[in-house]
Structure 1
Amino acid sequence: MPAALLPQARSGPRAAQASPFERPALVWLLVLAGVVGFTGWAGIGAILRDLRLPDTDDVMRLVQVRDLLAGQSWFDLAQARHAGAPPMHWSRLVDAPVAGLILLARPFAGASLAEGIAAVAWPLVLLGLYAAILYRGVHRLFGWRAAAFALFAATQSVVVSGLFAPGRIDHHNVQTCAIVALALSLARSGATLRDGVRAGALAALSLAVGLEALPFIALAGLVLAGLWLRAGRAALPPFLGFGLALGLVAPALFLVQTAPALWSATACDALSPPWLWLAASAGLTAAAASLLPGGWGAGRRLGLLVACGLAAAGGFLLLFPTCVAGPFTGMPDLVRREWLVRVQEMLPARHLAGHAPDLALAGYLPVLIGAVAASLWAWRGREAGQRALMAATAGALWLGLALGVPQVRGLYVAAAFVPLVAGPLLDRAVALLRTPGATASRQVAALAASLAPCGKAWLLLASLLPVLAGPDKAMEAERIAWQTCGDAKAIAALDVLPPGLILARIDLGPALLLHGHHAVVAAPYHRALPGLVAALEAFHDADALAAVAARVRADYIVACDTPADPAVSSVADRIGRGEIIPPGLEPVPVPDTPLRVWRPAAGAARG
């Protein structure tokens, strides 16, 4: 394993003097090469020119920001041009900086280009923040060279590259920065009250932005509670600071972004009373721990933790039973079966491995290897500070791997921790190049092991093996369909028609809202259940399409005309190519677009 290959290698000034990388310029040149090869640069032109964003969530975020700038209330997150005007569960705390960048760019770039500039700039600002957090955390314990190598390792991660690529204005990158900073605040021997307060505030920010990182926050709280249980008052300051900050900052952020009318409303998918209850429970538990007499033993401390834990869990079950099943409460089986489990970020590891084995290798193996290496380092490391950092890194990576096996998005936060171990590993491998007595085979093995946490190395390996190279035809067809039919020009061509309500496939909804003046029946968001049901029913059976369109009072029906493999074509694909003519509809010719358009036939019943 990587750590076992490098037990004798040392970082620091002496090792650097004996290394071919003793010159900072060479190390930073390597980092620059990694940045140049960072995923996403090629798409900047399309973002600036056509607002071609990487994902439907990025598109909907920009729609939400555009509504805010157009005068929609800070507290009003309803999508007025979506049938039923469902409220989004995303945070205005992410909308605000994106909107601010647009306002800054408008005077010299114009309204349209300003949106593209903001979409490019915001994830790059966050990338710089992540790089600063990463560099500082590694530099403190391992020196500048290991910290620089950590930055290089970050540029080699396919997950990190995807999270911070230009156009990624979704909230996952904000959460990633918050959770990595949280872990680094606590991952030090002798953590203080201030460290705990900082970590608790970052946890509250992450929860306000979205609940996806909740397991990492819970792990941090449990670890702090466990350390207090073992060491007593010596470990109380960070535990107290974390609990109090989480219990106080989370409600403050909730009030900032939530309309007063919704303060008592239960939302299982966003920061709301159920999660505020747990945050408050954490604060009260830490406060109770601080009031215990110093002479109380571990048994009594355990009793307090158990009592507080049972009260928190029992209150949650009693007051908010609907949230026990998770954020997707009330979702019909049709939507769960035909849409939710097919969303790319919700795919299990085995499914991704079957459809895109190269991405599965590059995504999962670095996290697994990093988890093993960090665990070994935490166990066998010489310095207490390094062991503490590696223990925190190992915990985050193992948790992310456990979350990522059933759902790909579990890797998002975890992958950002891989450079924390990859940088020091590469630093020590480089030190071996001129270490007296180190054999060539050991040097090569050490370098190979230190590069194993780099996802792009696995992409390169997969490209050399035909059985592992590239996504399958279904995923490639889906990518082509998104780029072709969601293109700004393709959607804008529909504006020759009077504004109306469009019934289309679910994933086309955000592009229709961003690039055109029409409303939509469906978009890929779980709070818009009636629209999801209608779109699934309509494009599952061509004979039912007209009836569903009448039921939802759609003015137009739109399908994508894009090449596809007949072996993987759905009914919707065949409708889009004109292979199936839906009964009860009449075609509407629209030039200069790959989209096919129909309207309900004259005399058709409207529900």
Structure 2
Amino acid sequence: MLAAPLPETRPRPEAAHSPFERPAIVWLIVAVGLAGVLAWPTLAPVLRDLRLPDTDDAMRMVQVRDLLAGQPWFDLAQHRHAGAPPMHWSRLVDAPIAGLVLPARPLVGPALAEGLAAILWPLLLFGVYALILHRAVRRAFAWRAGALAVFAATQTVLVTGLFAPGRIDHHNVQICAVLGLALSLARPAPTARDGAAAGALAALSLAVGLEALPFIAAAGLVLAGLWLRDGRPALPPFLGFGLALGLAAPALYAAQTAPALWSASACDALSPPWLWLCAAAAATAASAALVAGGRAARLGLLAACGAAAAGGFLAFFPACAAGPFTGMPDLVRQEWLLQVREMLPLWHLVRIAPEAALAGYPPVLIGAAVASLWAVRGRDPAERRLMAIAAGALWLGLALGAPQFRGLYVAGAFLPLVAGPLLDRAVALLRAPEATPRLRIAALVLSLALCGKVWLIAATAPQRLAGTANALEAEHAAWQDCGARRSIAALDVLPPGLILAGIDLGPSLLLHSHHAVVAAPYHRALPGLAASIEGFRDATALPAVAARVQADYIVACAAPARPGETPTVADRLGRGEIIPPGLEPVPVPGTPLRVWRLRPAP
């Protein structure tokens, strides 16, 4: 609790007359916040046109559609991508989305069924997230703080961006799993059952994707550190976490991986390298139960187990020590991977998308500072533990997010844990007789500073008042038009063929047309990525690249020109400013896309 800046308020008789003491009023505020996330302008394009927010969402729906069309459960290859690269995504996410699509098909048709699933899946996940959040905050504080935490979630850009209509990628599943993991351990005296729940959720997160691995590792290290410090009283959650992780991770791996591939190592997905670490966690926790000595004995065990785990990992899986993108050529790394927005460092994001940087980094930084102070100065043990967990997650997220923006994704889920109680305290101060106007204003401003939407409004207000469009938003809208169903479906007048196009156009081509693609934004499809980069950075090389990959069509689309920009070859192709030698235009009406094919040899 922030004892000095935001003191406890003493109840007084007239406080009962405050509208914020009425649950109906508070939950109405929460509903208004949720309505802002689920406004019709955001729902209609997804429902009507299956216009999904991100290329990963489009690829997820393609994968779900293939599963429903009969592609085997263990076959994760994308067969309409050149080379049929295996996807590293989990069928554990495909299955529930398919479960929403399948029963709706006879009622509304295949197209609308997919739109409904793309809306319902993130909404259901947000319900799970909100339930976990509300329960944890209410348990440590009170009902109003829990409700306001849910409201704060609707104002946190890092949260709403991952639960928005159409967001069927796996990050929202990971957020729910990691938040559930952390809050399972938030009780003042967590039990073995709490630890087991946390371990199972950690395994689920790893099975879905490895992005939350640092947070899972941090949870394990904290539990190990508490056992080192406190001994036997801290053993139950440590033992439950380690054993559940060590048992659940292999079970989920077997459930989504073909038996023939069980021994195949992959640095970008749950596989033997990461199962080794899960097994090491289980072995360490089980060994801890056998230690009867003091702190020196416990430290010796942890050091020995840690050295064995790290040494075995480096000895058996040395390639994975360099990260998930093993074997990537420098061309692809520099020209594609390091240009992806979620991979950008803070200092680069500030230059090209300052509004995104402001909506993400300052709230997390302020939230981490507030949570840290609250964890130190709070009077209630439950409050201190919850805030300590939030502070740890937020500081870790900042450390990960500075070099890569996506490091903030998981951390953002913890912001409402701090914002809800802070909003609750600010509301209470409004009617506290001992609170000065300056203190009330400071509390309210501090609470709002944790809401990313406030920063986003402040960052974009000058442009909106001046009536000038945000360049990044305009470019995104143009690309949405390029990848829209009506734009892509127009290509189906052409016989099915292999399309060489810009990397980000690949998933939309797969989702909305009957064509195959050379490239899509997935790091396992390296030959296609390299071909697209080589072809669209040099107009004279494009025909040769198209011939090499045996492309039937070349497709380009570009955003409108911006003043002062230097257009790329891909932009000039998309605007029709150049036609590479050796290509002939293919007229396709009703689309902003431009299509060519190789000119037949004379």
User: Into which bin does the TM-score normalised by the smaller protein fall?
Assistant: over 0.9
5+ residue gaps in structure 2? Answer: none
Q: Would you say 1:92 and 2:91 are equivalent positions?
A: yes
SS at match of 1:5: coil
SS at match of 2:561: coil
* Distance in 2, Cα, partners of 1:523 & 1:222: 37
Structure 1 residue aligned with 2:163: 164
* Distance in 2, Cα, partners of 1:369 & 1:41: 32
Cα distance per residue 1:434-484 (max 9 Å; x no partner): 212211111111111122101111122223455999999652453133211
Q: CA, structure 1 residues 101+13, in 2 after alignment: closer, same or farther (shift >3 Å)?
A: farther
Q: Contact 1:40–1:165 at 8 Å: present in 2 too?
A: no
1:14 deviation in Å?
8.2
Superposed, 1:382-421 pairs within 5 Å as 382-421=379-418
Structure 2 residue aligned with 1:49: 48
Q: Give the stretch that moved more between structures: 22-31 or 94-103.
A: 22-31
Q: Would you say 1:433 and 2:430 are equivalent positions?
A: yes
Q: Contact 1:41–1:165 at 8 Å: present in 2 too?
A: no
**Pick from 596, 599, 602: which aligns with 2:600?**
602
Cα distance per residue 1:161-212 (max 9 Å; x no partner): 1100010000000000000010000012111000000000000000000000
Aligned pair count reads 601
1:496 deviation in Å?
0.8
SS at match of 1:542: coil
Q: Would you say 1:279 and 2:271 are equivalent positions?
A: no
Structure 1 residue aligned with 2:298: 301
Superposed, 1:227-266 pairs within 5 Å as 227-266=226-265
1:588 deviation in Å?
0.8
Q: CA, structure 1 residues 8+167, in 2 after alignment: closer, same or farther (shift >3 Å)?
A: same
Q: Give the stretch that moved more between structures: 472-481 or 422-431.
A: 472-481
Structure 2 residue aligned with 1:590: 588
Q: Contact 2:475–2:559 at 8 Å: present in 1 too?
A: no
Cα distance per residue 1:263-299 (max 9 Å; x no partner): 0001000000000000000000000000111xx1111
Cα distance per residue 1:91-147 (max 9 Å; x no partner): 000000000000121121111110111011000000111010011011111111000
Q: Give the stretch that moved more between structures: 476-485 or 588-597.
A: 476-485
Percent same amino acid among aligned pairs? 72
**Pick from 493, 499, 504: which aligns with 2:501?**
504
1:570 deviation in Å?
1.1
Q: CA, structure 1 residues 25+573, in 2 after alignment: closer, same or farther (shift >3 Å)?
A: same
Structure 2 residue aligned with 1:331: 328
Structure 2 residue aligned with 1:311: 308
* Distance in 2, Cα, partners of 1:18 & 1:24: 12
* Distance in 2, Cα, partners of 1:468 & 1:231: 58
**Pick from 418, 423, 426: which aligns with 2:420?**
423
Structure 1 residue aligned with 2:101: 102
Structure 2 residue aligned with 1:448: 445
* Distance in 2, Cα, partners of 1:242 & 1:13: 44
Structure 2 residue aligned with 1:572: 570
* Distance in 1, Cα, partners of 2:558 & 2:8: 61
RMSD over aligned CA atoms reads 1.9
What letter matches 2:225 in structure 1?
G
* Distance in 2, Cα, partners of 1:540 & 1:40: 40
Q: Contact 1:278–1:316 at 8 Å: present in 2 too?
A: yes
Q: Contact 1:15–1:431 at 8 Å: present in 2 too?
A: no
Structure 1 residue aligned with 2:482: 485
Q: CA, structure 1 residues 194+468, in 2 after alignment: closer, same or farther (shift >3 Å)?
A: farther
Q: CA, structure 1 residues 520+40, in 2 after alignment: closer, same or farther (shift >3 Å)?
A: farther
Structure 2 residue aligned with 1:9: 9
SS at match of 2:75: coil
Structure 2 residue aligned with 1:190: 189
SS at match of 1:599: strand
Q: Give the stretch that moved more between structures: 140-149 or 439-448.
A: 439-448
Q: Would you say 1:35 and 2:34 are equivalent positions?
A: yes
Q: Contact 1:375–1:391 at 8 Å: present in 2 too?
A: yes
* Distance in 1, Cα, partners of 2:72 & 2:468: 42
1:9 deviation in Å?
3.4
SS at match of 1:281: helix
* Distance in 2, Cα, partners of 1:101 & 1:174: 16
* Distance in 2, Cα, partners of 1:173 & 1:300: 41
What letter matches 1:8 in structure 2?
E
- The normalised TM-score by structure 2 is 0.97
* Distance in 1, Cα, partners of 2:359 & 2:38: 13
* Distance in 1, Cα, partners of 2:573 & 2:3: 56
Q: CA, structure 1 residues 359+102, in 2 after alignment: closer, same or farther (shift >3 Å)?
A: same
* Distance in 1, Cα, partners of 2:75 & 2:495: 27
Q: Would you say 1:138 and 2:137 are equivalent positions?
A: yes
Q: Give the stretch that moved more between structures: 570-579 or 543-552.
A: 570-579
1:561 deviation in Å?
5.0
Q: Contact 1:154–1:419 at 8 Å: present in 2 too?
A: yes
Q: Give the stretch that moved more between structures: 353-362 or 264-273.
A: 353-362
Q: Contact 1:474–1:568 at 8 Å: present in 2 too?
A: no
What letter matches 2:56 in structure 1?
D
Cα distance per residue 1:216-265 (max 9 Å; x no partner): 00000000000000000010000000000000000000000000111000
* Distance in 2, Cα, partners of 1:513 & 1:9: 58
SS at match of 1:327: coil
